[in-house]
Amino acid sequence: MRGLAKGLKYTLKNLTREKVTYGYPHEPLPLPDRFRGIQKFYPEKCIVCNLCANICPTDCIQLTGKKHPDPTKKGKIIDTYDINFEICILCDLCTEVCPTEAIVMTNNFELAEYSRDELFKNLEWLDQNDDNVRRENKA
Ligand code: SF4
Ligand code: SF4
């Protein structure tokens, strides 16, 4: 009986305390501003300079460009852009080096998949990775 009262006292005392747990995945986790999550890619900003692919320490970026369809414009536009998230270490180097901010880090970290093949993300997927893009990184 004494043990029960002791337990109840502890429970009642903690009922009014601020929660330290989150109802994830039903509630999104609050993340710090500088969190380095899965990249968002803006194809229209990419100038196909290859800096991101060259600096990547794990060689997980593959990209190709093509001639600008408008003959009056110089330079290339992006054709394909893939990141292999099996080996991406989310180091932020690709986004730091990008001169046009065509690739930026987000607060999105959910990459769980049933197949390793699904960890290859292409241009369309990266372009649509709009969830949790930091306000200053939105186009
Ligand atoms: S975050 Fe790092 S490892 Fe991942 S693609 Fe960018 S440079 Fe490569
Ligand atoms: S994403 Fe940025 S760094 Fe990479 S090729 Fe495009 S413009 Fe260059």
Within 10 Å of residue 98's Cβ, how many Cβ atoms? 21
Residue 46, annotated as binding a ligand: yes
Phi, psi of 133 (to 5 degrees): -75, 130
pLDDT value of residue 131: 74
Best mutation site among 47, 66, 80 for ligand 2, i.e. most ligand atoms within 8 A of its Cβ?
47
pLDDT value of residue 74: 87
89 alpha carbon – ligand 1 mean position (Å)? 6
What is the share, in percent, of the chain residues with pLDDT greater than 90? Answer: 66
Tell me the pairing of strands 120-121 and 76-84: antiparallel
Residue 60, annotated as binding a ligand: no
Ligand 1 pocket check for 139: Cβ under 6 Å: no
CATH dotted code for 33-137: 3.30.70.3270
Ligand 1 pocket check for 87: Cβ under 6 Å: no
What is the share, in percent, of the chain residues with pLDDT greater than 70? Answer: 98
Average pLDDT of every residue of the chain: 92
Cα–Cα distance for residue pair 114/63, rounded to 1 Å: 25
Least confident of 6-15, 23-32, 44-53: 23-32
Cα–Cα distance for residue pair 62/64, rounded to 1 Å: 7
> Using one digit for the tens of pLDDT, what is the confidence trace for 54-109?
999 999 999 999 999 888 888 899 999 999 999 999 999 999 999 999 999 998 89
DSSP letter string over 23-75? -TTTSPPP--TT--EEEEE-GGG-----HHHHH-TT--EEEEEEE-SSTTS-S
Return the domain boundaries, the chain: 33-137
- Position 139 pLDDT exceeds 70: no
Which residues have C-beta atoms less than 6 Å from ligand 2? Answer: 46-52, 63, 97-98, 100, 102-103
Token pair in block for residue 89: 């270490």
pLDDT value of residue 80: 98
Answer with the residue of higher pLDDT: 15 or 121: 121
